[in-house]
A and B are shown apart, each in its own frame.
Chain A
Amino acid sequence: MKVHNNRAWLLVLPVLVLVAVSAIIPLMTVVNYSVQDSFGNNEFFWVGTEWFQEILASERFHNALQRTLLFSALILAIEIPLGISIALAMPRKGFGVSICLVLMALPLLIPWNVVGTIWQVFGRVDIGLLGYGLANLGVDYNYTQDTMDAWITLIVMDVWHWTSLVVLLCYSGLVAIPEVYYQAARIDGASRWAIFRYIQLPKMKRVLLIAVLLRFMDSFMIYTEPFVVTGGGPGNATTFLSIDLVQMAVGQFDLGPAAAMSLIYFLIILLLCWIFYTVMTSTTEQDATAAGERRHE
């Protein structure tokens, strides 16, 4: 038994080194910065939790936080139901399956900054298809100047980009449901809604959990796309936490507050994910212990 395990650790070593260099060490550096201040010339002194207190009290931080929360909430509210609906509409057997799957996968394959660029150009009133078209229809659309337009553009872009992920995850959950369930439901006279509520949704719970967590984390941390499209503007209408953070750290070079804010950011995401996870798994626990099944792993 011992022989087995030791060799396995050796294989893990290269990965550990990489993770240490790219993640753990930088993280520790950030923690270090967050509790220090400097007079310049690379001289640092300890200030304890001063930066944290300053950040948590600052109005700028709270505004950015609110914007980010609102964005995530809207994203989830649109993408999850939309994703489920599309997954339900996709064929489960036959020729159309491959076509649909490829179509769904396409938006996910595009690099994020390219996505941003696509929409940035798309929405321009002078040369973008969307912008030009809307202007011709008489709609007053300008995402660089109007807050509402900027938000709508970002949300539509994100929905276009990421709903497919929810679709694919939900689809995999749906396909796994044995045909018998549908047959039994038909015999029981269940309506389309009842079938969804009592068969499809419960069976999709686990994949939905993954979808919600992933979409929440990504939307809460969103940076590239809004940065490319609006740059945080107009004004600071689309300055989300991540953009604000970068402005502080790279633009203003306030390492201390930036580090503190990163950590706060990290902890907020952790907290909200934990809440989602606990709420959604408290109901799936019962399914997992269905009697009569032994899981041999």
Chain B
Amino acid sequence: MAGIELAGIAHRYHGNDAYSVNPLNQHWQDGGAYALLGPSGCGKTTLLNIISGLLSPTGGKVLFDGQDMTGLRTEQRNIAQVFQFPVVYDTLSVAENLAFPLRNRGLEKLEVSTRVKEVLTLLGMTGRGQQQASSLNADDKQKISLGRGLVRTDVNAILFDEPLTVIDPHLKWQLRTELKKIHRQFGHTMIYVTHDQIEALTFADQVVVMYEGSVVQIGTPQQLFDKPQHTFVGSFIGSPGMNIIRCGVDGSDAIIEGNRIPLHQSVTATGDGLELGIRPEHIQLSGSEGVSVEVTVVEDVGKHIVVRTRLAEQEIDVIVREGTAIPERVFLKFDAAKLNLYQDSFLLDSDP
């Protein structure tokens, strides 16, 4: 297990002027679970491959527990990586697959078989050691890929590159909780790359949100949810994402289309580009008081209802409990404590 530090890491692909990963500094604690979250092309996989050594950065250093790993190849960094595409050695059995990394490192036969047995139990695959790896389904293949990382005792970190992409939704749950349990039990440093916010938020202690090669915000899932520093983070996280509403400010009130919304605290904000951010979960429907809006769509999603409304030109989404009756005339009440004010897309925060 090791703490990972990125010092001034940047990367540009051949012949490109633009950076795929803009210069960044990052420190990750030993034993933590981290997620790199962002849309396709944001640079998260590039960053992961830089950490694992599959890619050499055009600038900066990678340090494991203070030691410079930048010049070292992947094999020398003692990391394990699980890919999007389940990789198993088809000609070998399940047990032989798990033994492969240990045999390559020249471990004793007895030690190898003990470790393999332990990991089989951990993955819930006891008794299946003799099964041919090529006959497994995608879910089990991914487990074996993970197992090959767990079986090594010298692993500094385990990296995941969108590992649940090919897994069925029903099995995704199982695999996710198993990953979490394994993390609980062994405390490996784990870095998980994904574009799926649910995976990122449920897995990680800290999430790094990336966009177009830059780190936009780092925080706990709760921080990212409640206090996104940038409107991108606000709208990216949450389904539907945060409502970003253009507004004006007067004293301790925000003004949206003539309606006064009391803010949590007085904010001195001048100029243009002011926006109010509020999550759909933090808005209530009322039949009588609040901001009058027009309902465009009501989506019953089973576990809750999404009410999409319109105020003049702006769209506001609201999430209400299952079975809530939608009143004839709809008014919105905003939870003042959860309102965030943004200027030019950045959070205006008067809290220290």
Contacts and interface: CB of A to CB of B under 8 A. Distances in A.
Direct contact of A and B (CB under 8 A): yes
Interface of A: 178, 180-181, 183-184, 186-191, 194, 198-199, 202, 286-287, 289-292
Contact of B137 (A178, A184, A292): A292
Interface string B65-94: 000000001110001110111010111100
Given A190-B100, A290-B135, A291-B135, 7 more contacts: A187-B52, A187-B101, A189-B75, A190-B104, A202-B90, A290-B134, A291-B136
A184 B87 contact: yes
Contact of B80 (A187, A190, A191): A187
Contacts of A202: 89-91
B319 to A, nearest CB: 36
B89 A198 contact: yes
A187 B81 contact: yes
Contacts of A181: 87
Interface in B117-155: 132, 134-138, 145, 148-149
Given A199-B89, A286-B134, A291-B137, A183 B100 contact: no
Contacts of B136: 290-292
Contacts of B54: 183, 186
B134 to A, nearest CB: 5
B148 to A, nearest CB: 6
B303 interface: no
Interface in B35-75: 52, 54, 73-75
Given A180-B85, A181-B87, A198-B91, A186 B75 contact: yes
Contacts of A199: 89
A196 to B, nearest CB: 12
Q: Among the interface residues A183, A188, A291, A292, which one has the most CB atoms of the partner chain B within 10 A?
A: A188
Interface in B99-126: 100-101, 104-105
Contacts of A291: 135-137
B90 A187 contact: no
- DSSP majority for the A interface? helix
B26 to A, nearest CB: 22
B104 A194 contact: yes
22 contacts: A183-B74, A183-B81, A183-B83, A184-B83, A186-B73, A186-B74, A187-B75, A187-B79, A187-B149, A188-B100, A189-B101, A190-B100, A190-B104, A194-B104, A198-B92, A202-B90, A286-B132, A286-B135, A287-B134, A290-B136, A291-B135, A291-B137
Given A183-B81, A289-B135, A189 B91 contact: no
Contacts of B134: 286-287, 290
Nearest to A178: B85
Contacts of B73: 186
Contacts of A183: 54, 74, 81, 83
A158 to B, nearest CB: 31
B104 A180 contact: no
A289 B134 CA distance: 8
A237 to B, nearest CB: 42
Nearest to A203: B90
A183 B81 CA distance: 9
A189 B104 contact: yes
A188 B99 CA distance: 10
Contacts of A188: 100-101, 104, 148
Contacts of B75: 186-187, 189
A70 B25 CA distance: 66
Nearest to B141: A292
B135 A191 contact: no
Contacts of A180: 83-85, 87
Contacts of A292: 136-138
A195 to B, nearest CB: 10
A100 B73 CA distance: 29
A189 B81 contact: no
A194 B105 CA distance: 12
Interface in B309-329: none
A49 B54 CA distance: 68
A180 B74 CA distance: 14
A285 to B, nearest CB: 10
Contacts of A289: 135
A191 B87 contact: no
A290 B135 CA distance: 5
Contacts of A190: 100, 104
Q: Among the interface residues A189, A198, A289, which one has the most CB atoms of the partner chain B within 10 A?
A: A189
Contacts of A290: 90, 134-136
A181 B89 CA distance: 9
B137 to A, nearest CB: 4
A129 B292 CA distance: 97
Sort A-B residue pairs by CB-CB distance and give the 3 closest, nearest first.
A189-B104, A184-B87, A292-B137
